[in-house]
């Protein structure tokens, strides 16, 4: 299954690849060049298809957990000062998505969208410390019954040139549902309450709508 945001690109790529294969077959006389061009074109098509894949995932919704909003690797777990929405300190968990990861953004929690804003910006590499505040990005805040407000931020990387965000202020959203897409290499930040229990570690690989990122802090003697 492929994400709807990739349908146009997949269709255009398919026709370009088909044209390249046919033109190489009929008009390229060099025996070594003809198959080389055809194989290269097919590899490009395969790369585009794998990038826009959208695997179906059933989510066991849980108000006590914040799930990974995307596939990738945890590259930062740190206390930060948020100046956009909270105007205070939060725990930031950052997930880097390489071009081979699934790039679908999924809602990390169930709740009501309280804030959704797009910011134009630069295209620094996604793991750059300043990418969270200087790159093209969208910020979404969801109000939840257990964690209060949870913020996630889609951040474009050096290759990404388009962020798709479906969250609209006032709508109710469900944990694990499709929240958007970031095209070609990117990062996603979660800003969490200081009193939540972080369940992931640096360099850990996470799966969107599956891996628990944070949970309600266990009571003394429990958990």
Q: Give the whole-angstrom CA distance, residue 72 versus residue 211.
A: 11
94, 110, 132, 186: the catalytic one is 186
- Annotated catalytic, 110? no
Crossing angle (nearest 10°) for helices 33-51 and 7-27: 170
The residues near 24 (Cβ < 8 Å, ≥ 6 apart) are 33, 34, 37, 38, 41
The DSSP string of the chain is: -B-GGGHHHHHHHHHHHHHHHHHHHHH---TTHHHHHHHHHHHHHHHHHHHTB---------TTEEE-SSSEEEEEEEEEEE-SSSSEEEEEEEEEE-TTS--EEE-SS-EEEEEEEEE--B---TTSTTHHHHBSEEEEEEEETTTEEEEEEEEE-SS---EEE---TT-EE-TTSEEEEE-SSEEEEEEE-TTSEE---TT-EE-TTTSEEEEPPPPTT--
| Residue 94 to residue 20: CA distance in whole angstroms | 40
Q: What residues are annotated to the active site?
A: 186
């Amino acid at each position: 299954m492929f994400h709807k945001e990739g349908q146009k690109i997949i269709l255009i790529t398919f026709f370009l690849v088909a044209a390249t294969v046919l033109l190489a077959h009929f008009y390229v006389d060099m025996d070594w060049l003809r198959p080389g061009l055809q194989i290269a074109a097919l590899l490009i098509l395969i790369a585009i298809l794998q990038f826009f894949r959208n695997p179906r995932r059933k989510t066991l919704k849980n108000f006590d957990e914040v799930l990974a909003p995307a596939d990738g690797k945890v590259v930062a777990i740190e206390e930060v000062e948020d100046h956009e929405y909270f105007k205070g300190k939060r725990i930031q968990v950052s997930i880097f998505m390489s071009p081979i990861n699934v790039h679908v953004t999924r809602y990390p929690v169930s709740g009501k969208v309280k804030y959704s804003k797009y910011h134009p910006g630069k295209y620094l590499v996604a793991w750059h410390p300043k990418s969270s505040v200087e790159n093209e990005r969208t910020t979404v805040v969801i109000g939840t019954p257990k964690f209060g407000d949870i913020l996630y931020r889609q951040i474009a990387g050096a290759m990404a040139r388009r962020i798709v965000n479906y969250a609209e202020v006032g709508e109710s959203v469900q944990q694990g549902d499709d929240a958007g897409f970031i095209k070609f290499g990117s990062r996603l930040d979660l800003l969490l309450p200081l009193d939540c229990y972080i369940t992931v570690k640096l360099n850990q690989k996470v799966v969107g709508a599956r891996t628990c990122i944070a949970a309600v802090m266990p009571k003394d003697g429990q958990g």
